[in-house]
Amino acid sequence: MTIAITGASGQLGRLAIDHLKTLTDPAGIVALARDPASLSGLGVAARAFDYTKPDVMAAALKGVTTLALISSSDFNDRVGQHRHVIEVAKTAGVARILYTSILKADRSPMLIAADHAATEGIIAASGLSATILRNGWYTENWTANLGGAIAAGALIGSAGNARFTPAMRADYAHALAVAAADPAHAGQTYELAGDEGFTLAELAAEVARQTGNALPYNDLPGDVYQGILENLGIPSGFARVLVDVDLKAGGGWLEDDSGTLARLLGRPTAPSSKAVAEALA
């Protein structure tokens, strides 16, 4: 069995490969990225792979039996890019595909879920054996920007009292490796989330506890929050997606208490306090 992971130069892909090397022979792992030189040091085979270039992808998938498709970070035509990958994978003889989707993708009203739902549909129509990993929000989506929040004196958002059950990137990467290494996960769709839930006010309180300085959560109207994100340099379209996440989170679309992620990992998920501590360090 040869397992390939797309987006291997990214944070999730690199972590997934690190975990995968502990679960299967590294000689059977292929890291895929636009620039193979960016994959030096991973200790596995590296091949060029571009979601927009079918010919390049076809060569890269030669001999691959299991393909982990990490969703594109290009919001201009994610579905089109994913379609290219899936079609090439089928032609190349890939036996199983894994896809990093989003929590409750098949029914979520969030803007960010639309591309994922469409991709899941393309995979289903392809006839390929599949494992769908519906990842919840990443704790790092907040903790990566704690420096700015602390400097500004408040954590901001538009989520109100919505509860999230995020997990750290390392936990999602570990789950991807586990699912890729074991064919028993074929045909499964997993809703993945952290064991611990919190509101943004509770997250701010944890930051305050660890820093020893007060940090309130300021809940803002969506248009005000979007304006701030755009002023920080976030493209308008992506800012709209982020605001939409907050505004709709109260419906429970990024909350899940099934414990599926922990069961896949065979251990509890990392608590938010760890993500905060790592960010502060």
Give residue-wise pLDDT tens across range 163-178. Answer: 999 999 999 999 999 9
The mean per-residue pLDDT over the stretch 96-113 comes to 98
Return d(Cα 247, Cα 71) in angstroms, integer. 23
pLDDT digits (tens, 9 = 90+) for 222-240: 999 999 999 999 999 999 9
pLDDT band per the 50, 70, 90 thresholds, residue 220: very high
Return the closest-CA partner of residue 256 out of 87, 155, 92, 136.
136
User: What Å distances lie between residue 6 and 3, 38, 71, 129, 270, CA to CA?
Assistant: 10, 13, 9, 17, 25
Mean pLDDT score across all residues of the chain: 96
* Tokens read off for 29: 């792992």
Q: Is the pLDDT of residue 19 over 80?
A: yes
The C-alpha R_g of the chain, in whole angstroms, comes to 19
Domain-by-domain residue ranges, the chain?
3-134+168-192+257-265
Percent of residues, the chain, with pLDDT higher than 90: 95
Q: What is the reported pLDDT for 165?
A: 98
Q: Is the pLDDT of residue 111 over 90?
A: yes
Q: Is the pLDDT of residue 1 over 90?
A: no
Percent of residues, the chain, with pLDDT higher than 70: 100
End-to-end Cα spacing for the chain: 40
Q: Is the pLDDT of residue 118 over 80?
A: yes
pLDDT digits (tens, 9 = 90+) for 67-97: 999 999 887 899 999 999 999 999 999 999 9
Superfamily of domain 3-134+168-192+257-265: NAD(P)-binding Rossmann-like Domain (3.40.50.720)
Return d(Cα 30, Cα 17) in angstroms, integer. 9
Q: What is the reported pLDDT for 76?
A: 80
Q: What is the reported pLDDT for 248?
A: 98
Starting from the edge strand earliest in sequence, which strands make up the sheet with 96-102, in order?
A: 45-48, 29-33, 3-5, 66-69, 96-102, 129-135, 189-192
Q: Is the pLDDT of residue 33 over 80?
A: yes
Angle (nearest 5°) at CA 187 between 183 and 191: 105
pLDDT band per the 50, 70, 90 thresholds, residue 148: very high
The mean per-residue pLDDT over the stretch 202-211 comes to 98
